[in-house]
A and B are shown apart, each in its own frame.
Chain A
């Protein structure tokens, strides 16, 4: 079954770090890029960064640069997102999503999403 399975909810204290996992199954993990998207309660979608699961190259949003690290373990078909220096404003659901390319014009979209991981930051 083609799916992305994310790790469970986390509660963290301000200043701590959190690492969320996203395990891929049913497809060849290393032929895709994996993205991370944050959604604060009642708010919209905010892109954080991505990793090329094949070569490990990453790109990040300037907003999270320096605080976010996206990695992958090809032996486990898993992508990870670590966010450091957490504040209450990081309380959110974090989604991983698969990037799907089509055609010859560089078009792509998110065709597969994980169910999301709720991270609560509270003292």
Chain B
């Protein structure tokens, strides 16, 4: 199984900050990497697919990059509504589909 490791596990930041979350795969997954945002009590929401493609309707302050084993999700200027938990997901080798353990983004 491909293991996905996110860092950091939690992060405190302020409105307006630039934030980067990293996701590392245990083997190369090309660009088969998606990012989701989840708010408490809600289902996850797709932000980025294929490592760097922005899902329709998602603000342009979100961006993704990477290929192979190392990926990043960047929020260029944090907004109050961005405080949530973020997950990466690999779809290169399935089953199983695997997620990172999540990164909780909190208000400083």
Name A residues whose Cβ lies closer than 8 Å to a Cβ of B: 35, 44-47, 49-50, 59-63, 95, 97, 102-103, 106-111, 113-116
In the complex, what distance in Å separates the CA atom of A25 from the CA atom of B108? 41
Chain B: minimal CB distance from A38 (Å) = 11
Assess whether A95 is in contact with B43, with CB atoms less than 8 Å apart.
yes
Return chain A residues, CB-CB under 8 Å to B89.
Answer: 45, 109-110
Q: Does A61 lie within 8 Å of B96, measured CB to CB? A: yes
Contact yes or no, A107 B43, CB < 8 A:
no
Contact across chains for B44 and A115 when beta carbons are under 8 A apart? no
B47-106 with Cβ < 8 A to chain A: 49-50, 55, 87, 89, 91, 94-102
- Are B46 and A44 in touch, CB under 8 angstroms? no
- Please give the distance in Å from A40's CB to the nearest CB on chain B: 12
Distance to closest chain B CB from A44 (angstroms): 5
A44 touches B102 (CB 8 A): yes
Residues of chain A with a CB closer than 8 A to B50's CB: 103, 107
Q: Among B46, B55, B96, point to the contact of A62 (Cβ < 8 A).
A: B96
For residue A46, which residues in chain B have a CB less than 8 angstroms away from its CB? 99
A47, B43: Cβ atoms closer than 8 Å: no
Q: What's the least CB distance linking B52 to chain A, in Å?
A: 12
Q: Judging by beta carbons under 8 Å apart, are B44 and A110 in contact?
A: yes
Residues of A within 8 A of B99 (CB): 44-47
B104 to chain A minimum Cβ distance, whole angstroms, is 10
Is B34 an interface residue when CB atoms closer than 8 A count as contact?
yes
Partner of B91, one of A63, A107, A113: A107
Cα-based distance from A47 to B31 in the complex (angstroms):
20
Contacts of A50 on B, CB cut-off 8 Å? 95
User: 7 smallest A-B Cβ distances: which pairs?
Assistant: A113-B43, A47-B97, A45-B99, A109-B49, A61-B96, A109-B34, A44-B102
How far is B91's CA from A96's CA once the two chains are assembled, in angstroms? Answer: 17
Taken together as a complex, chains A and B put the C-alpha atoms of A49 and B94 apart, in Å, by 10
6 A-B pairs within 8 Å (CB atoms) are namely A45-B99, A59-B94, A103-B50, A106-B32, A109-B34, A115-B43
